[in-house]
C-alpha cells in the first residue's frame, strides 16, 4: 500500500473517532473534502486490495513470476514480500502450466491463491488448469469442492508488443461456465472488484490493462475502507444519457467517456455503461439503458467475431428488440493479428473517433457505412 493511501486512511480514521462532539460538523466537512479530492492509481488500488485481503485472511497468498523479489512486473505487488514473507508471496519459475496447477491444487484444499500472469497471453500455457481443473471442478464434484482462486494480470493490447502479446481474452474466458470474469476500468473498480474476487468461493479471471496501471482516478473514503467491495455481475452507469447507450469495459470505458464529450457538442446525449463484469454479464442494466435510449453501441478491443459485443447484441435483440430505433453498432479490434508497426497498431484498435462515428450513425446523424461504401 502506498504511503499516500496510508496517510489518508489515518486522517479519515482520526476524523471518525475524534471524541469532540462539538467538532462533528467541521469534521464531516473535512472528511468530505478529502473524499472528493483524493486520487489513486490503478496500481495502488490493486496493491492495497491485495495487502488488505492478505492481512485479513491468512489463507490468501500470491504466486507468479517476479511477484516477490522484483515486486511484480508492473510493481502491483510492491512491498508484499517484505510484509508477508516468501511463504505467502511466492516467486515461481517461468512455467505457467506448472504454477497454475499448483495454485488450483492449493485451492482444492481450502487456500485462496492469487495467480499472477505477467500477461494473459502467457496464460494460454495454463488453459487446461484454468478451464478443466478450475472452472469445472465444482460442478463435477456435485458441489463438494470449491475452487477459490483468482487469476489476474494484464489483458489486451499494450503498445508495440506484437500479435502474440496483444490479445484480449474477455470473450475467451467469458464463454466458460464455472468462471467469473471481471475487467476493471477505474481505481474504484480495481480495488472493489479484486477484493470481491479474492473473497469469492469460485474461480475468478481478473483482466487488468497494462496501459491503465499508472492512470489515476478519484476515490472516496468509502472506497478506501478495508471492508469495501463491489458486487460481481453488476455494471455501472458512468454517465447517464438519453440518446444512445455505449457499453464498454476496461480501457474502452475511458474512450467511450471521451467520445460522449465530443458527441455532447453535437447535441447527442450518450449514456456510458462500464460493464465491470463480463461473466456474469449485467443484462438487466444493459437492456434497461437500451429501453431508455433506443440505441446501442458496443465497444471492445478484442476481435469482432464471437466477441463480448456480439453477446450483448444477442441479449438486446432477445429482450429489447422492440425498443431499438436503429441497428446495433459494434466497435471492436480489427479481425487480424495485431500488427507491430505503430501506425498499423493504431488502425487495428478502436479509437475515440470510431465510437463517435458509430454513435452518430445510430442516431442517424451521419451517412451509414453501407451507403458510403
pLDDT at site 15: 40
Q: What's this model's pTM, rounded to 2 decimal places?
A: 0.88
Structural domains of the chain, with CATH: 39-224 (3.40.50.970), 236-364 (3.40.50.920)
Evaluate the CA torsion angle 62, 63, 67, 73 in order and state its sign.
Answer: negative
Which residues, 6 or more positions from 318, have their beta carbon under 8 angstroms from its beta carbon? none
pLDDT at 139 over 90: yes
pLDDT confidence tier of residue 368, bands split at 50, 70 and 90: low
| pLDDT tens, residue by residue, 69-108 | 999 999 999 999 999 999 999 999 999 999 999 999 999 9
Which residues, 6 or more positions from 13, have their beta carbon under 8 angstroms from its beta carbon? none
The residue that leads in pLDDT, 97 or 366, is: 97
Active site residues: 96, 165
| pLDDT tens, residue by residue, 40-72 | 999 999 999 999 999 999 999 999 999 999 999
Q: Cα separations (Å) of 218 from 222, 321, 345?
A: 12, 37, 30
What is the DSSP pairing of strand 270-274 with strand 112-116? Answer: unpaired
| pLDDT tens, residue by residue, 323-349 | 999 999 999 999 999 999 999 999 999
pLDDT confidence tier of residue 29, bands split at 50, 70 and 90: very low
- The span from the CA of 259 to the CA of 361, in Å, is 14
Amino acid at each position: 500500500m502506498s504511503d499516500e493511501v496510508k496517510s489518508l486512511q489515518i486522517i479519515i480514521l482520526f476524523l471518525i473517532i475524534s471524541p469532540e462532539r462539538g467538532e462533528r460538523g467541521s469534521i464531516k466537512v473535512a472528511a468530505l473534502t478529502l473524499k472528493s479530492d483524493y486520487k489513486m492509481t490503478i496500481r495502488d488500488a490493486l496493491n492495497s486490495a491485495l495487502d488488505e485481503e492478505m492481512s485479513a485472511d491468512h489463507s490468501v497468498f500470491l504466486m507468479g513470476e517476479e511477484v516477490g523479489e522484483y515486486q511484480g512486473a508492473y510493481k502491483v505487488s510492491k512491498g508484499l514480500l517484505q510484509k508477508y514473507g516468501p511463504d505467502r508471496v511466492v516467486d515461481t519459475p517461468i512455467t505457467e502450466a506448472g504454477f497454475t496447477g499448483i495454485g488450483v491444487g492449493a485451492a482444492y484444499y481450502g487456500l485462496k491463491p492469487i495467480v499472477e500472469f505477467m500477461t494473459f497471453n502467457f496464460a494460454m500455457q495454463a488453459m487446461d488448469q484454468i478451464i478443466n481443473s478450475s472452472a469445472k471442478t465444482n460442478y463435477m464434484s456435485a458441489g463438494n469442492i470449491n475452487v477459490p482462486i483468482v487469476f489476474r494480470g494484464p489483458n489486451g493490447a499494450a503498445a508495440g508488443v506484437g500479435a502474440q502479446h496483444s490479445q484480449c481474452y474477455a470473450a475467451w474466458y467469458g464463454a466458460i461456465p464455472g468462471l467469473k470474469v471481471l475487467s476493471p476500468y477505474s481505481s474504484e473498480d480495481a480495488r472493489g472488484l479484486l477484493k470481491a474476487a479474492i473473497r469469492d468461493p469460485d474461480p475468478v479471471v481478473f483482466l487488468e490493462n497494462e496501459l491503465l496501471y499508472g492512470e489515476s482516478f478519484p476515490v472516496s473514503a468509502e472506497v478506501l475502507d478495508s471492508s469495501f467491495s463491489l458486487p460481481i455481475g453488476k455494471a455501472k452507469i458512468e454517465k447517464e444519457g438519453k440518446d444512445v447507450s455505449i457499453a464498454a469495459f476496461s480501457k474502452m470505458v475511458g474512450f467511450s467517456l471521451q467520445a460522449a464529450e465530443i458527441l455532447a457538442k453535437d447535441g447527442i446525449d450518450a449514456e456510458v455503461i462500464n460493464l465491470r463484469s463480463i461473466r456474469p454479464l449485467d443484462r438487466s442494466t444493459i437492456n434497461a439503458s437500451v429501453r431508455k435510449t433506443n440505441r446501442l453501441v458496443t465497444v471492445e478491443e478484442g476481435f469482432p467475431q464471437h466477441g463480448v459485443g456480439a453477446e450483448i447484441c444477442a441479449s438486446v435483440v432477445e429482450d429489447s428488440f422492440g425498443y431499438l430505433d436503429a441497428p446495433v453498432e459494434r466497435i471492436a479490434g480489427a479481425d487480424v493479428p495485431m500488427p507491430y508497426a505503430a501506425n498499423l497498431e493504431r488502425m487495428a484498435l478502436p479509437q475515440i473517433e470510431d465510437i463517435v462515428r458509430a454513435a452518430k450513425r445510430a442516431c442517424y446523424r451521419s451517412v451509414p457505412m453501407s451507403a458510403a461504401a
